[in-house]
Chain A
Amino acid sequence: MNALAPVLASVSGTDFIQNLVSGLALGSKYALIALGFVVVFRATGVINFANGAFVLVGAYMTYQFFQTWEINFYLSILLAMAFGFLLGVVLEALVLRRLVGEAPFTVIMVTIGLLFVMDNVVTAVWGATNLDLGDPWTGNVVEVGGVRMSHRDLWAMAFTATVLAAFLAFFRFSSMGLAMRATAADPEAALAQGISARAVYRVAWGIAGLVAALAGLTFATGNANIQPTLGLIALAAFPAMILGGMDSPLGAVIGGIIIGLVQQMTELYAFEYLEWAGRNPQTVAPYVVMIIILLVRPYGLFGTPEVRRV
């Protein structure tokens, strides 16, 4: 308690709450990316590093529809998401399909390869300079009790809440959602029930592409925020997914929010109290939190330990 007192005294209360809100918004963007990781992992048992490229392509495609082709902004978002879905499905059919039955390690390496290839394609098509999305949200804020909340942040949080609700309903009530859970639990037994593993993988990749596109858009809003390094942001969402427990949508969201908050707060206090930690402690902080949580809970906060009757 004593150690914290000067910290709290040094920043004003509103400052603190302001940062809390910003952290929450940043966290919900990470959560969207983590949800994309979760859906593929849950269905196929593979960590999809290409998710970063989906995020990147999503941002650029929104730009393409909105700026280049001058389509309505909200329609552009939907179109970018549809494009993300197609991209996921096509990659699954062209590349991942051939790897069914290979060791997970091989498949993971291939997804890393895909990340770099798509990165290069994006640079080739749209160039390496930063672009303005020119979205209608940037610059607009609402103020509640002295705390300023930007429209972009509010939208990001609304997206995350919607996607989470959709995921939970999908896994719980839909046939395809059930097929995914069965396939994840025991692929051979799922096949034996006549569940098509192909369809399951295809849809999982499609959904990952769709959600990642939405995530990419939330990072792309603002000035000069569309840039080839967007793909790397997905890596920061990686600890969020591990933290939440790899296969849990709710865990992904809570993990994302924790990471966002940790990053924002580290940044806020780093100047004064973490000088010894180097110049960018906020980029390292998520990983530190991830390691600590995994030491205490190896399945993450919400992961499923294997159900076994003893």
Chain B
Amino acid sequence: MTALGVSNVEVVYNEVVLVLRGVSLTVPEGQIVALLGANGAGKTTLLRAITGLLDVHHGRVTKGSVSLSGADITRADPAKRVKAGLAQVMEGRRIFAELTVDENLRTGAMSRRNREAFDDNRARVLEMFPLLAGRLRSTAGYLSGGEQQMLAIGRALMASPDVLLLDEPSLGLAPRIVDQIRDIIVQVNESGTSVLLVEQNANMALQAAHHGYVLEHGRIVKDGPGQDLLADKDIREFYLGMGESGRRSFRDVKTYRRRKSWGS
């Protein structure tokens, strides 16, 4: 069964800037799928096409379709998609800084009207993130970066989604926290949620993912099982900064980056 399907999607900003040029990918039910890509490749844009947030950015899906558990949602409004089982952790965390931790969690459950499910979800989330449990009444904006990311994930889980999207959850976090977040993603997936994980930290993402895609200049240029990509020479060079000869210097990787294009 396909939890989330993206088929041949094209996205244009401001009616002129073509950013996605026919992207297709599939998140099978119960799996973690990683989406890798450099800055500006179009990863966030693809997530916006899936969640319906393109409008806010004057963007539009001009071709192709998005489906959730088999139902077409290409033109549905964002609230409907959340109701249908889609939740996301946005790039940059985007927690509500002025609200308390508890209020942030409540906003995540806004699309669910069931009181019992709310209490269960909240208990589950707090068990997963004990740090948050102790700070429910704190203003969310004063949490540390790692705690804010946990809150953003917890908030998304409050909607008990079938499919969870995460946009670069490891960004700007210490390695130890990144590992923690990876483990949480695996744990969430094991309890039945399908995951689309957008990352630039290929190492972290591919350790967790069943399958991975590489996006470049608005096109999928490579895909394969997570373990295969992790072992892939090009991926290792490009995303992990490691050649056959071991770790390359940062400068080497940068020149490599400029030369290398997946497409050609």
A interface residues, Cβ below 8 angstroms from B: 101, 175, 178-179, 181-182, 185-196, 304, 306-309
- Complex CA gap A237/B64 in Å reads 52
In the complex, residue of chain B having the shortest beta-carbon distance to the beta carbon of A172: B103
Whether A191 pairs with B78 at a CB distance below 8 angstroms is yes
Whether B107 pairs with A179 at a CB distance below 8 angstroms is yes
Whether B110 pairs with A307 at a CB distance below 8 angstroms is no
- Complex CA gap A307/B159 in Å reads 25
Whether B90 pairs with A178 at a CB distance below 8 angstroms is no
Whether B94 pairs with A195 at a CB distance below 8 angstroms is no
Q: Which residues on the B side are within 8 Å of A309 (C-beta)?
A: 97, 141-144
Q: Given A179-B107, A307-B141, A309-B142: A192 and B53 within 8 A (CB)?
A: yes
Other-chain contact of A185, B56, B83, B99, B111 (Cβ < 8 Å): B99
Task: Tell me how many residue pairs across A and B have CB atoms closer than 8 Å.
Answer: 85
Whether B53 pairs with A188 at a CB distance below 8 angstroms is yes
- Complex CA gap A304/B139 in Å reads 13
Q: Given A178-B106, A307-B142, A309-B141: A194 and B98 within 8 A (CB)?
A: no
Q: Which residues on the A side are within 8 Å of B90 (C-beta)?
A: 188-189, 192
In the complex, residue of chain B having the shortest beta-carbon distance to the beta carbon of A307: B141
Query: Closest CB-CB distance, A35 to chain B, in whole Å?
Result: 20
Q: Which residues on the A side are within 8 Å of B239 (C-beta)?
A: none
Greatest chain B CB density within 10 A among A175, A182, A190, A306 is at: A182
Q: Which residues on the A side are within 8 Å of B28 (C-beta)?
A: none
Whether B78 pairs with A306 at a CB distance below 8 angstroms is no
B13 at interface by CB-CB < 8 Å: no
- Complex CA gap A70/B95 in Å reads 52
- Complex CA gap A297/B142 in Å reads 22
Within 8 A of A (CB), among B136-168: 139, 141-144, 155, 159
Whether A194 pairs with B78 at a CB distance below 8 angstroms is yes
- Complex CA gap A101/B78 in Å reads 15
Q: Which residues on the A side are within 8 Å of B107 (C-beta)?
A: 178-179, 182, 190, 193, 195
- Complex CA gap A195/B150 in Å reads 21
- Complex CA gap A186/B56 in Å reads 12
In the complex, residue of chain A having the shortest beta-carbon distance to the beta carbon of B147: A309
23 contacts across the A-B interface (CB closer than 8 A): A179-B107, A179-B110, A181-B96, A182-B99, A188-B53, A188-B90, A189-B94, A190-B107, A191-B53, A191-B56, A191-B78, A192-B88, A192-B90, A193-B111, A193-B155, A194-B83, A194-B111, A195-B79, A196-B77, A306-B97, A307-B98, A308-B97, A308-B141
- Complex CA gap A292/B99 in Å reads 30
- Complex CA gap A308/B93 in Å reads 13
Q: Which residues on the A side are within 8 Å of B78 (C-beta)?
A: 191-192, 194
In the complex, residue of chain A having the shortest beta-carbon distance to the beta carbon of B94: A189
B226 at interface by CB-CB < 8 Å: no
Greatest chain A CB density within 10 A among B88, B95, B107, B139 is at: B107
B195 at interface by CB-CB < 8 Å: no
- Complex CA gap A191/B88 in Å reads 11
B interface residues, Cβ below 8 angstroms from A: 51-53, 55-56, 77-79, 81-83, 88, 90, 94-99, 103, 106-108, 110-111, 139, 141-144, 155, 159
Q: Given A307-B139, A307-B141: A185 and B98 within 8 A (CB)?
A: yes
Other than the known A185-B97, A195-B79, what 18 A-B pairs have Cβ atoms closer than 8 Å?
A101-B55, A178-B106, A181-B98, A182-B99, A182-B107, A185-B96, A186-B94, A189-B96, A192-B82, A193-B110, A194-B81, A194-B82, A195-B107, A195-B111, A196-B77, A196-B79, A307-B139, A309-B142
Whether A186 pairs with B96 at a CB distance below 8 angstroms is yes
Q: Given A196-B79, A307-B98, A309-B143: A187 and B106 within 8 A (CB)?
A: no
Whether B97 pairs with A307 at a CB distance below 8 angstroms is yes
Q: Which residues on the B side are within 8 Å of A181 (C-beta)?
A: 96, 98-99, 103
Q: Which 8 A-B pairs have the closest CB atoms?
A: A194-B82, A194-B111, A307-B141, A189-B94, A307-B97, A185-B96, A196-B79, A191-B78
Q: Which residues on the A side are within 8 Å of B51 (C-beta)?
A: 192
In the complex, residue of chain A having the shortest beta-carbon distance to the beta carbon of B82: A194
In the complex, residue of chain B having the shortest beta-carbon distance to the beta carbon of A195: B110
Query: Closest CB-CB distance, A66 to chain B, in whole Å?
Result: 40
Q: Which residues on the A side are within 8 Å of B141 (C-beta)?
A: 307-309
- Complex CA gap A186/B99 in Å reads 11
Query: Closest CB-CB distance, B58 to chain A, in whole Å?
Result: 8
Q: Which residues on the A side are within 8 Å of B88 (C-beta)?
A: 192
Other-chain contact of B108, A101, A186, A193 (Cβ < 8 Å): A193
Query: Closest CB-CB distance, A191 to chain B, in whole Å?
Result: 5
Query: Closest CB-CB distance, A182 to chain B, in whole Å?
Result: 5
Query: Closest CB-CB distance, B132 to chain A, in whole Å?
Result: 16
Other-chain contact of A178, B53, B95, B103, B139 (Cβ < 8 Å): B103
In the complex, residue of chain A having the shortest beta-carbon distance to the beta carbon of B104: A182
